[in-house]
Structure 1
Amino acid sequence: MSLNDTPSSERIHIGFFGRRNAGKSSVVNAVTGQELSVVSDVKGTTTDPVTKAMELLPLGPVVIIDTPGFDDEGMLGELRVRKTKQILNRTDLAVLIVDGTAGLTDTEQQLISIFREKNIPFLTVYNKSDIAEKRVCQDNEFEVSALTGENIYELKERIAALAKLPSQEKRIIGDMLSKGDMTVLVTPIDASAPKGRMILPQVQTLRDILDADAMAVFTKEHQLAETLNSLSAPPKLVITDSQAFAMVSKIVPESVPLTSFSILMARYKGFLETAVKGAAAIKKLNDGDTVLISEGCTHHRQCGDIGSVKLPALLKKTTGKELNIELSSGREFPEDLSKYSLVIHCGGCMLNEREMTYRRMSAEDQNVPFTNYGIALALMNGILKRSLSIFPDLAGEIA
């Protein structure tokens, strides 16, 4: 996979924040070497977050986010500030742009407080060094001029140094496989699957298997029995799309471990244990309870859609209760979760780990159980224990 092919969810997200007319967009353009954002002397030119996946040397593949002014005014201004706060939930590194001729104001101090509250590494960058008085910079402070390019190269180096990747490489499944192990990947092709392509978790799982020098066979659910019979020995593991759990679990022998792409994504995104604990709430739902079903992507919902159709129907069948179902998708995720008895989230393949962590922690802070599609479907199909058998440390968490 080339740098240009790296999914946005796997890139470091770098957000540029500050007041209107501090020069955020000018600095973004200088750092990226592209006319990424419209630049104007008129305050509030950037009205919505501008996002660009690109390669930023010497760091590598990143997502650059230019945000509206945090001091924006009026009703529309309030909406833009709200959008900026949402951006912070997926920001791995924040760059605070300050008008060097004015210095820090209450707006910048408020942003710094939010950075610290959310544990986001940040740099404070004083723009307009070509006309501002020289200042003594503290740690993680920097002077630049977007107009002349002064210290822009050094700023990029500082960003790269601060935005370090995790020291321990995350794995989806490869660390649990040995050289030569055979895996079978069951990938139903339904109406929501992108034409001519595999969905992202399937591609990422395959790559991780190959990186472990293991082997993989792809098959559709209706050809699974034939596929298994064609193998000279039982596979080490079968991984299925969660929607096919019911059918696949009847075909795969009990002696062969079985799990799903969604469950593996929960592990990869760091919330598998939370999802297993949260699934227990399904059995405790009562009439009138409200369940939030949330997806990280914004695909067009079709007949038989898992989030809006299949999951609600299975919840009603499993619980026998009259439930209120609410949906969210894309970057929209409610800040106030107090009215929900349960949040069921997708695998989160389109969201970076920081945003998934924010969503999980929002639920935990408000005492709302949080699980995901794969765990919920495994529980409601009566195979949760089996689908988690490859994770012995979770044995005590299975309801």
Structure 2
Amino acid sequence: MSNKAPRGVRLVITLVGKRNAGKSSLINAISGQDVAIVSDQPGTTTDPVAKHYELLPLGPVTFYDTAGLDDSGEVGELRIKATNKVMMRTDLALVVIGEDGLTDYEMKLIDKVSELEIPYLVAFNKNDLCEPLESDMDYCRQRGIPFYKTSVLEGCSIDKLKEAIITLAPEEMKRDPVLAGDLFGEGDWVVCVVPIDLAAPKGRLILPQVQVLREILDCDAVGVTVKEREIEETLSSMKRKPALVITDSQVVMSVAGDVPDEIPLTTFSTLFARYKGDLPSLVEGAKAIDSLQDGDTVLMGEACSHHPVADDIGKVKIPRWIRQYTGKDINFVMYSGHDFPEDLERFKLVIHCGACMLNRSEMLRRIKECKRCGVPVTNYGVAISKVQGVLDRVIRPFDL
């Protein structure tokens, strides 16, 4: 079951530390499976290795076994860069200490994790070979860092480590996340307007639509799914008003015209802006569209890589709509997957996708990084609603 959970809803737990600190052995012990290659040879782990696991009561999680951040050489730098990318989407970190004990390297690593505001704990590993120094444990005590003495060979503290992970996990991961379930009640009718997205795999809906429909069912509400040209007829034939209409952002203007103003209306992408990020910040960021000038560069950020269709939403439609709205000659640069530029300062605005393939931690860190660089950030759906003139109505259900 854990392998089928969407990547973006998993808790990401990353093991970091020096080469040969025993990270691979530890992740195998925690998961109870030989997912990572174990060797006495330093640098065995080259790229981050993901292991899906069901850690109850948290549910589906992904453990990442990373290359040692003390790697060297040109290839080592690439490995470290890959590890740093994983750190950006980490919800919880395990700093693994090997036989060398707590050195300046681990202290800098702890500072890095703290700077990223990632909850973490320390595992003094290989406890069968050497006890951690009292001074090292005092370092953790003085800073309030949870620590455990672990031994994979002896099975020492593995269960306690799992319990600590559960305790330290972010609060939002301990409760059922809400997409739209607070906007309607049991027995309510919810209408979902779902045009067929050419970018979606054949025979399937896109993930935000699937997740919303599942939540409607979980809340014992009634979901009605229609295409955009059927919405007016559907509403007129219903015996009572729906509690909510949710539409794909690409048709929000026409749907807003067909849905009476007294019926709450929002978009799938706006729901994900709240679910995965910081909706007030993304709404505020959309205001920057009004101040774009000729020659400005806008970053289009997508969390997943896909073959663009002829009228791709990120590459074609949104840039076209924004140029029409502003009347300006604006440059658009696309970044896909887990790549995110380090020179954000050169952009006047960042427009991010709904982040259905990112976990919330990574999306929040991207928003935070944009703010640090003084760059406004919004998302696809909010930006579309802005340039289509319906943003105020789309965010009305959230009482911002």
* TM-score, normalized by the shorter chain, greater than 0.5: yes
Q: 2-side partners of 1:39 and 1:57: how far apart? A: 26
In the alignment, is the contact (CA less than 8 A) between 1:335 and 1:362 conserved in 2? no
Match of 2:127 among 126, 129, 144: 129
Question: Is the partner of 2:51 in helix, strand or coil?
Answer: strand
Tell whether the 8 Å contact from 2:113 to 2:120 is kept in structure 1 after alignment.
yes
Amino acid of the structure 1 residue aligned with 2:200: A
1:202-260 CA distances to partner (integer Å, 9 max, x unpaired)?
12212333333322101112322332233123322211111111332232233322210
Q: Are the counterparts in 1 of residues 351 and 380 from structure 2 also a CA contact under 8 Å? A: yes
- 1:112 is aligned, of 95, 98, 110, to 110
CA deviations 1:344-372 (Å, max 9, x no partner) are 01111111111111000111111111101
What CA distance in whole angstroms lies between the structure 1 residues aligned with 2:339 and 2:154?
Answer: 38
Instruction: Report the counterpart of residue 274 of structure 2 in structure 1.
Output: 267
Aligned position for 2:289: 282
Contact residue 101 and residue 133 of structure 2 kept, 8 A: no
2:148 paired residue number: 142
Matches within 5 A, 1:203-352: 203-352=210-359
Q: Return the letter of the residue paired with 1:34.
A: Q
Q: 1:193 is matched with which residue? A: 200
Structure 1 contact 53–62 (Cα < 8 Å) conserved: yes
Unaligned runs of 5+ in 2: none
Q: Distance in 1 between matches of 2:170 and 2:291?
A: 42
Number of matched pairs:
391
User: In 2, are the aligned partners of 1:200 and 1:349 still within 8 Å (CA)?
Assistant: yes
Give distance in 1, aligned partners of 2:319 and 2:258: 25
Instruction: Tell me how far apart the structure 2 counterparts of residues 211 and 56 of structure 1 sit (CA, whole Å).
Output: 22
The amino acid of 1:158's aligned partner reads A
What letter matches 1:10 in structure 2?
Answer: V
Equivalent position amino acid for 2:166 in 1: A
TM-score normalised by the chain length of structure 2: 0.92
The answer to whether the Cα contact below 8 Å between 1:58 and 1:157 also exists between their aligned partners in 2 is no
Aligned partners of 1:131 and 1:253: how far apart in 2?
A: 71
Q: Tell me if the contact between 2:49 and 2:64 (Cα under 8 Å) persists in the aligned partners.
A: yes
Q: Give 1:8 deviation, angstroms.
A: 2.3
1:390 aligns with 2:389: no
Q: Distance in 1 between matches of 2:163 and 2:266?
A: 42
CA distance 1:23–1:233, shift in 2 (3 Å): same
Offset of residue 189 of structure 1: 1.2
The residue identity in structure 2 corresponding to 1:121 is P
Give the structure 2 partner of residue 397 of structure 1: none
Question: Which one is further off, 331-340 or 4-13?
Answer: 4-13
Does structure 1 residue 92 correspond to structure 2 residue 106?
A: no
Alpha-carbon RMSD across the aligned residues, in angstroms, is 1.9
Q: Structure 2 vs 1, CA of residues 289 and 201 (structure 1 numbering), >3 Å: closer, same or farther?
A: same
- Conservation of the 8 A alpha-carbon contact between 2:101 and 2:132: no
Give 1:58 deviation, angstroms: 5.9
Shift of 1:59: 4.4
Cα distance in 1 for partners of 2:193, 2:236 equals 15
Amino acid at match of 1:370: V
State the Cα distance separating 1:3 from its structure 2 match: 4.6
Corresponding residue SS for 1:54:
strand
CA distance in 1, matches of 2:285, 2:147: 42
Q: Which residue of 1 aligns with 2:388?
A: 381
| Alignment CA distance shift 1:337-1:191 (3 Å) | same
TM-score (ref. length: structure 1)? 0.92
Equivalent position amino acid for 1:51 in 2? A
